Amino acid sequence: MKPVNDALHQAAAPVVEVDMSRKTPLLYRLLAVAALWPALAIGQSAEPAPATEAAPATAPAGEAAPAAEAAPAAKAAPAAAEQPAAEPITYSKKGADTCLTCHDDAHVMAVFKTKHGNPNDARSPFGKGQLQCEACHGPGGAHTGKIKKGESRPPMIRFSRDSVAPVSVQNGQCLGCHEKSMAGTWHTGPHDAAKVSCASCHDSHARKDAVLSRHTQADVCYTCHADIRVQFQKPYAHPVRQGKLACSDCHTPHGTTSDKQLIKATVNQTCFECHAEKRGPYLWEHEPAVENCALCHAPHGASNPGMLTARGPVLCQTCHSQQGHPSFAYGPSGLPGGGGQPVSALALGNCMNCHSQVHGSNHPSGATLTR
């Protein structure tokens, strides 16, 4: 209002000089008001409107935003109401006693003879404070509750190859307890990648799990690896059929970073677990033996002595065919009745008749692996 006050003083100055000579207070006041009226009117029109007067103009805009936001929320409310609420997770009232009223066959009852059914082990499903059957098979409140006539009971998690429960659900129940022991291996192995369930190999209700026994483990593995069964039936094979060796002596079924799930980083290191005498080091090495045992040997079984992939000298000539001694390659025609001149090296023996130290030699004169 400071500019308005200055205008009032400037306009009043000439009027005061005129009226001072007349000395009429009432007339002075009337003339002063008449002279100042236009200035007062202009000052009032130029004065900015108070901030409080802008509130009615801005208030509707502020109210429009909540209203606009409320509209979609109001539309979404019926949609959310249409979605069924998640059923609460409930367990059976009496635990295993409830389950055993229906499931009391020999296979189910055998669980009490296993580690899973040991009530004295706090880590087992039947340990103190544990959930018993429902620790593995999931909450059974809905399964054991009342159902309407004609309705089927909600399923529990069943562990088998043909179970309707996804493999991820089945394995998730097992890994709930066993994740720590195989956290760094199971998820890196081919069994997990191929979605093989734990129950495909293990039977948690069996008193003696077949896959954990050296005598019966291979039969469990053969359910998927049928081609390996054929190899173990060959005349020269590792003693798996005799129960002296198991698949897990060489392979780690729960996963590893090694090729073919071997228990060691390489084929040779795995073989040396039993064949330590072939480890060396040797003064004169045979390169294939140092590189990979499987270059000459069939690990599961073969038709040739020593589980060799081929008989000598045919096997030797896969590397030494046209160099050194002898200077020509042997073939089937060199066998008796093969249509050609019989070759004594084929008919009577092989390269190892002379080069007996095929894995390596420490003899000072063993450069040719003959001694």
In order along its 371 residues, the chain shows pLDDT tens digits of: 444 334 334 444 443 444 444 445 666 666 666 666 655 555 554 444 444 444 444 444 444 444 445 455 555 555 545 655 556 778 888 888 999 999 999 999 999 999 999 999 999 999 988 999 999 999 988 898 888 888 888 899 999 888 889 999 999 999 988 888 887 788 888 999 999 999 999 999 999 999 999 999 999 999 999 999 999 999 999 999 999 999 999 999 998 889 999 999 999 999 999 999 999 999 999 999 999 999 999 999 999 999 999 987 788 888 886 555 555 566 666 566 666 666 555 555 678 888 899 999 999 999 989 88
Check residue 9 and give its pLDDT: 41
d(CA 307, CA 73): 75
Cβ 289 vs Cβ 360: under 8 Å: yes
d(CA 179, CA 171): 10
pTM for the predicted model, two decimal places: 0.67
Check residue 108 and give its pLDDT: 92
Check residue 42 and give its pLDDT: 52
Residue 215 CB contacts under 8 Å (≥ 6 apart), including other chains:
243
d(CA 234, CA 226): 14
Check residue 161 and give its pLDDT: 87
Domain ranges for the chain, please list them. Answer: 1-35, 280-361
Give, in degrees to the nearest 5, the angle at Cα 104 between 100 and 110.
105
Residue in this structure with the two tokens 């698949």, named with its chain if needed: 247
Check residue 328 and give its pLDDT: 58
Check residue 47 and give its pLDDT: 47
User: Which residue type, as a one-letter code, is found at position 358?
Assistant: V
Cβ 322 vs Cβ 328: under 8 Å: yes
